[in-house]
A and B are shown apart, each in its own frame.
Chain A
Amino acid sequence: MPKLINRYGVVDAKTGTDGWIEYTGDANAIPAGAKVLLPLTEFREFSGTWQKHVGTNGALGVKLSPADDPALIAHDLEKLALIAIEFPAFTDGRGYSTATLLRERYRFIGELRAVGDVQRDQIFLMSRAGFTTFALRDDQSVEKSLAAFNDFSSYYQHAADRFVDRSALPLAA
C-alpha cells in the first residue's frame, strides 16, 4: 500500500489503511457498508446499486483516469466522498486540469486524491491545483514529501486550492 499523506502528516499512520477498497471487477471482494473506490464507467452505470450496497455506513468514491472528463460526474458529486485522480506518469499533467475543474467549476468539496506516480516534487503544484491527499509512490520519503507543501511561500496565480477548506482536513496522527 502506498503511504497516504495530507499536508498535516500520514493519514493512515495508525491503521496502515485509510479504509477505502478499490473495486477491480470482483464485487464479492467488497463487503456491504464498505468505502468503495469505483472506476468512472462502473460508477456511472451502477451508482444506485453501489449506493445501496455501501449504505449509510460506507461511502463511494470514483477514480478518474487522465482522459476522463469530470463533467460526467458533475451532477453526482454529493454522492462522492472521494475522487482519486490517476497519474500514470508524473509528466502527464491532465490531472491538474481535472482537479481544477472539479474544485472551481463543479465545486467538489470532498477529498481529492492524487494516485499513481506521485512524487515529492509535484506535491506543491498538486496541492495548489486542489488535491488534498497524496498516495505517495513507494520510494518517496514521507518526511521530504511533507516538506514539499512549503516549497513556496507565495505565488502569482489564483488556483483551485482557494476552494479547499484546510481546517476541514483531518489532522494526521
Chain B
Amino acid sequence: MYQYTAFDQRIVDERVAQFRDQTERHLAGELSADDFKVLRLQNGLYIQKHAPMLRVAIPYGLVNTKQVRMFAHIARKYDRDYAHFSTRQNIQFNWPELSRVPDILADLATVQMHAIQTSGNCIRNTTTDQFAGVAPDEVVNPLVWAEIIRQWSTIHPEFAYLPRKFKIAISGSTKDRAATLVHDIGLVALKNDAGQIGFRVIVGGGLGRTPIVGTAIREFLPWQHLITYLEAVLRVYNRLGRRDNKYKARIKILVKESTPAQFAEWVEAEFEATKNGPTLLSQHEIDVVSARFTQPVYKSLPSDDAATVTFAASNSEFARWQRRNVHAHRVSGYAAVTLSLKRIGVPPGDITADELDRVAALADQFNQGELRVTHEQNLVFTDVEVSALPELWRELKALGMATPNIGLIGNIIACPGGDFCDLANAVSIPVAAAIHERFESLDYQFDIGELDLNISGCINACGHHHVGHIGILGVDKHEEEWYQITIGGAQTIAQGGTQTAKIGKIIGPSFARAQVTDVIENLITTYLSLRERDDERFVDVVARTGIEPFKERVYAEAN
C-alpha cells in the first residue's frame, strides 16, 4: 500500500479547501449551477435522481482497513448506512447532502483518500488487476506504475478539460485482468529479451455507444518514457478530439476516424519532440515511489496445508468455495480470496457500514490489514495463509460473502441503473436480482460453468455489457423498459499468443422486462444442449456455433 508523504497529503488537503470554497460560493449564489457542475464532477460529486452521489477514488483498487473503517464511518454519518462498489474500483455514496460533501472529503483526507477526478472530462482513476503483486502469471507488478500514473495525472494542468472522460488501465500479467483493450489507454507492462521493463500501449478501446477493441500503437515502450508517451497521446487527443458531439468525443472515435496508423503517427511525432525532457522517468523516482509502498510479509510455508486439504475432502461446500473463490498465489502457502458481494436480495456491489467494519476486522486478522476492490464489484484478500482458509471461510459464510459464485452466472455485474441513475433507460438491479434468483441453485451454476453476465441500464455501459458472455442493455422504447441482449462478448480471451477483448453480438429485437429472465434461461439451456465437453464454456460455444442457434431458440420461445 502506498503511504502518503507530507507532499501528497498537502495536495489532497488543498484540494479539499479548494472544493469547500467552490461549494460555498455555489451555495451563496456566486457560482452558477452550470459552472459548478463541472467543478463538482471533477471532485466525484453527481446530482442524481434522489440526491447527490459521491464517488470516492480507490486508486488501483487498493485499500487498507483504516480506510475501510472510514467508509463505514461516512456511510453512517453522512449516508444511509451503506455504500456501493462500482465497476471501476471506486466506492460510491448515494445519499450525501451537498453542503456536507466538503466535510466528507476532509474526513477522507485524514486517511489518505480523495475523490479527485473520479468523474468529469479528465483523467480518471487508473485501474489494474485485482491480483497485482500476487498473481502467479505476473511479469511486472503494475502497482508502482499505477501510483506513478496517479501522481502524474492528479490535477494535471494541461488535461483537466478534455473532450471527454479518459480512463487508463494497466496490467502486468499474461492474462489481462484489467480490461486493457477496452480503455482509452491500456498499458501492458512486460519485459523484453534483455529483461528490461516496458509497456505495450493500446489506445482507443472503449465500450459505450460505439464499442471498440483498442489498437496497440507501441509494442514495447521503455519504462523511462511512460509519462512522456502518455502526455503525447493526451495532447493529441486534447487538441484533435471532437468537441462538437459528446457521443463522438471519446478518444476511440478520434482513433477510428483518423485511423489507428495516422493517430500513432501523430503520437510518435509528439513523442519525438518531447522525449528525454523533464518527464523522462529516472530509476531514482521509481525507487522513491516504490519505497513508499508497504510490502506484505510472507512466512516460509509449505504449498499445501494438510488440515485444509482434509477439511476440503470432508466439506463439499468449502471445497466448492475453494474452487471458485480462492485463487493461486505466487508465494508458496498463500492464496488470494474473493469475497463475493453478489448476494441474493442485495444489489451487486452494495455493502452496509457494519459489513464494512466486519470486513476490515477480517482483513486485519487474515490479510495484513489490506484488501482490494475489483471491477467485478467484489473484494479480494490477496495474502491469506492457506492454513487459515477454513477459518476465513466460516467467517465469510457468517457474513454472507462466501457464496462460491466467482466466474459463474451468480457473479452478475450490474450498474446502479434506473433505481439511482438519471441517465438510465431501464433498471438494472431488479433484473440482476430476478436472474440471480432463477439461477440460485449452486449445482446449476457449477454445471453451467464459467459465465460473465453484465447488465447496463443505458448505452453508457457502466455495467460493461458488451464484454459480458451475456450482456443485457436497458433501452428505451416508448418510455417503457426494454432490454437488448448480446452474447459472445469477452473482456479477455486468448487469441493466438496474445489476449484480446471481444464485443458481444446483439441477438435480435429487444425484450420486455418480464421476458428477460426466461430469455436468459433459454440461452443457457441452448448452450447446455450444444456444448461438446463440460469445460466448453458458454462463450466458447458461441464462438464455435455463432449466434444463430441461440437466436432461433430464443425467438421461437418468445413468440
Q: Is B308 an interface residue (CB 8 A)?
A: no
Q: Is B195 an interface residue (CB 8 A)?
A: no
Instruction: Kindly identify which residue among B14, B35, B161, B274 contacts A152, using a CB–CB cutoff of 8 Å.
Output: B14
Binds A, one of B148-156, B251-259, B515-523: B148-156
B154 partner residues in chain A, CB cutoff 8 A: 156
Could you write out 10 A-B pairs with CB less than 8 Å apart?
A: A93-B160, A96-B238, A105-B273, A125-B157, A125-B160, A152-B11, A154-B7, A157-B152, A158-B277, A158-B278
A153 partner residues in chain B, CB cutoff 8 A: 10, 14
Q: Is A76 an interface residue (CB 8 A)?
A: no
A-B contact count (CB 8 A): 85
**Identity of the chain A residue whose Cβ is nearest the Cβ of B162 in the assembled complex:** A93
Q: Are A100 and B11 in contact (CB under 8 A)?
A: no
Q: Are A129 and B157 in contact (CB under 8 A)?
A: yes
Contact with B along A121-141 (1 / 0, CB 8 A): 110111011000000000001
Interface residues on A, range: 20 to 34
Q: Is A145 an interface residue (CB 8 A)?
A: no
Contacts A151-B18, A152-B14, A155-B11; is A121 near B157 (CB within 8 Å)? no
Interchain CA distance A129-B30 in the complex, whole Å:
26
Q: Is B524 an interface residue (CB 8 A)?
A: no
Within 8 A of B (CB), among A95-137: 96-98, 100, 104-105, 119, 121-122, 124-126, 128-129
Instruction: Kindly identify which residue among B22, B151, B160 contacts A96, using a CB–CB cutoff of 8 Å.
Output: B160
**Identity of the chain A residue whose Cβ is nearest the Cβ of B238 in the assembled complex:** A97
Q: Is A91 an interface residue (CB 8 A)?
A: yes
Q: Are B11 and A159 in contact (CB under 8 A)?
A: no
Interchain CA distance A152-B156 in the complex, whole Å:
12
Q: Is B275 an interface residue (CB 8 A)?
A: no
Interface residue count for B (Cβ, 8 Å)?
A: 34
A91 partner residues in chain B, CB cutoff 8 A: 38, 121, 161
Interchain CA distance A151-B151 in the complex, whole Å:
18
Contacts A119-B35, A156-B154, A157-B152; is A93 near B159 (CB within 8 Å)? yes
Q: Are A156 and B22 in contact (CB under 8 A)?
A: no
Q: 4 tightest A-B contacts by CB?
A: A93-B161, A128-B157, A158-B278, A125-B157
Interchain CA distance A122-B39 in the complex, whole Å:
10
B151 partner residues in chain A, CB cutoff 8 A: 156
B437 partner residues in chain A, CB cutoff 8 A: none
Q: Are B238 and A129 in contact (CB under 8 A)?
A: no
Chain A residues within CB distance 8 Å of chain B: 90-94, 96-98, 100, 104-105, 119, 121-122, 124-126, 128-129, 141, 144, 151-162
Q: Are B235 and A97 in contact (CB under 8 A)?
A: yes
Q: Is B239 an interface residue (CB 8 A)?
A: yes
Q: Is B218 an interface residue (CB 8 A)?
A: no
Q: Are A100 and B158 in contact (CB under 8 A)?
A: yes
Contacts A94-B238, A97-B239; is A156 near B11 (CB within 8 Å)? yes
Instruction: Kindly identify which residue among B39, B157, B158, B243 contacts A92, using a CB–CB cutoff of 8 Å.
Output: B243
Instruction: Kindly identify which residue among A121, A128, A141, A151 contacts B35, using a CB–CB cutoff of 8 Å.
Output: A121
Interchain CA distance A100-B238 in the complex, whole Å:
12
**Identity of the chain B residue whose Cβ is nearest the Cβ of A152 in the assembled complex:** B14
Interchain CA distance A157-B157 in the complex, whole Å:
8
Interchain CA distance A155-B15 in the complex, whole Å:
11
